[in-house]
Structure 1
């Protein structure tokens, strides 16, 4: 299994136990170093942790689209179509990451989006209509969804 995650953390370590390859994109240098040290101590050699600074100030609100595409999102371009088994969107530029990830996910693969409460209407995410929402969970404050691409 090949996993791409936008935003590293606990999920990075968890995925490293399940997947052959985990590519994790992080924009915060301090958090990147913290997670990198945890992975080093755990001897996780199957994680490609990438520090990729944002092209916009953190405090600038996310836009539905960007021209040019931010470097953080552009990492998707380095993966062939249908080559990823799981994409987790839990970092910055969430809307455009979710939109652009769909073509990179293999048949039967999964798109996981954390903090769905950020969008009053999920239509902005443009998840293909034939993808099944296989899980939507909430703790009452935050929510997450998992969509599966048809086989």
Structure 2
């Protein structure tokens, strides 16, 4: 790698907390704060919005729960493993609710325990403005169906590892959602993957009505190169 490439690589790694995540074996940013186990492009995009009046439900818990709790009015998470549930309870914030619905990842998507995990959202009153589908793979098809049912009008569905389950993405598109993919690197993993955001093209969509209050340049900083037309970057 060239010297310039090494400098850019170090800068990006520092900006996104790559080395800190590897050292702590956890998903953290450059300041040691928890970040979701999604791709960095998706996290950076979602970080722009003001979700302080919105609700979120997530299948799967962990650092994403803490990250959501700093940005949303309320967070309800359902976990499938007791050890992660216990760890989550230890650091629960006032606006968080954490549920446990255990099941074996080697089971079948029609197993009663898997259905109980996916159906935890149906036990909640009302809908949710944002729903994150990041549970174990065998639960995600039923979670997709339930997400469509419980999403409030104009809400967002976040689907991590969407590149692994194209049939679920197609189901959402056929239900009228548009799909925006954020492919790239993320915490801990040595490979790239895709986090997708699904939304309906309607005037009250959160992406249209929710101000990008924290709009900023990339975490990796401003570029110092000249624009192709010879103009300096703003």
> Of 117, 124, 127, which aligns to 2:172?
127
The runs of at least 4 aligned residues of structure 1 exceeding 3 Å deviation read 122-125
Unaligned runs of 5+ in 2: 1-53, 186-190, 203-234
Counting only pairs closer than 5 Å after superposition, residues 10-89 of structure 1 correspond to structure 2 as 10-39=63-92, 44-54=93-103, 57-60=104-107, 62-63=108-109, 66=110, 70-80=115-125, 83-89=127-133
Shift of 1:8: 0.2
Aligned residues: 140
What is the distance in 1 between the residues matched to 2:111 and 2:81? Answer: 22
**Taking structure 2 as the reference length, what is the TM-score of the superposition?**
0.54
**Taking structure 1 as the reference length, what is the TM-score of the superposition?**
0.80
| Between structures 1 and 2, the one with greater helix share | 2
CA RMSD, Structure 1 to Structure 2 (Å): 2.2
| Between structures 1 and 2, the one with greater strand share | 1
Q: Tell me, what secondary structure is at the counterpart of 2:158?
A: strand
Q: 2:192 aligns to what?
A: 141
Shift of 1:80: 5.0
Q: Are the structure 2 counterparts of residues 142 and 134 from structure 1 closer, same or farther at C-alpha, using a change threshold of 3 Å?
A: closer
> Of 132, 143, 164, which aligns to 1:118?
164
Q: 1:90 aligns to what?
A: 134
Residue 133 of structure 2 contacts residue 144 of structure 2 at CA under 8 Å; is this kept in 1?
yes
